[in-house]
Chain A
């Protein structure tokens, strides 16, 4: 069975703190993709990053960085020097390669609140 677990339901930090959002996944596939999406208070879902199962390189984009570790089935997301505008619900998602191609399986999300 495929599953994505985001154990942190809510996180609250003060502006400029670093924060890491955890994501653990389960899959039997050897080829798969992992995604992070952001849902700000306005409600839309915004694509942030995609990673395939063969690429374990970490990625940095400005204040955002992602740590993919196949050995622990984790794909964690770190925001450095958080800002109030980072307040949102963040979803981790898994997509399998075969079978029901394109089906995204989402975690329950982590609500991040950044206080000024």
Chain B
């Protein structure tokens, strides 16, 4: 079975550019999560969706970040304009319904470098 698929795996871009990260969750999973991993702050939840609806976006750092889930099989995380401090590994994860006891399955991550 296919796992969570993220693209691109690596992104290098210049400050001020728009960055779009993509995620395809595991089919049948109702929850989708976006995390950011940095050396300083570790793994932080940015936002999560249930049945395509954003439930908690309190982790989104600022208005430059936005996330959408137009359908059950696709989500995007957009940064506009990007800044060097946004450099991090961004993970997408999904889990099936029936509550927080379900393990989250992570994609391979997108390593983002803003120059």
- B42 within 8 Å of A (CB atoms): yes
Sorting the interface of chain A by its residue count into under 10, 10 to 19, 20 to 34 or 35 or more gives 20 to 34
Chain B, residue nearest A105 (CB): B45
- B103 within 8 Å of A (CB atoms): yes
Number of A-B contacts (CB under 8 A): 59
Asked, given contacts A43-B89, A91-B43, whether A104 binds B109 with beta carbons under 8 Å apart, the answer is no
| A residues near B48, Cβ cutoff 8 Å | 102-103
CA distance A107 to B104 in the complex (A): 16
| A residues near B56, Cβ cutoff 8 Å | 100, 103
| A residues near B99, Cβ cutoff 8 Å | 97, 101-102
- A50 within 8 Å of B (CB atoms): yes
Structural contact, A43 and B100, CB atoms closer than 8 A: no
Chain A, residue nearest B101 (CB): A33
CA distance A101 to B109 in the complex (A): 23
Sorting the interface of chain B by its residue count into under 10, 10 to 19, 20 to 34 or 35 or more gives 20 to 34
Structural contact, A44 and B100, CB atoms closer than 8 A: no
- B34 within 8 Å of A (CB atoms): no
Structural contact, B100 and A102, CB atoms closer than 8 A: yes
Residue from A42, A44, A100, A104 within 8 A of B104 (CB atoms): A104
| B residues near A103, Cβ cutoff 8 Å | 45, 48, 56, 100
Contacting residues of chain B (67-83) with chain A, CB-CB under 8 angstroms: none
Contacting residues of chain B (92-115) with chain A, CB-CB under 8 angstroms: 93, 95, 99-109, 111
Structural contact, B108 and A47, CB atoms closer than 8 A: no
Q: Which residues of B are in contact with A by a Cβ distance under 8 Å?
A: 31, 33, 42-43, 45, 48, 50, 55-56, 89, 91, 93, 95, 99-109, 111
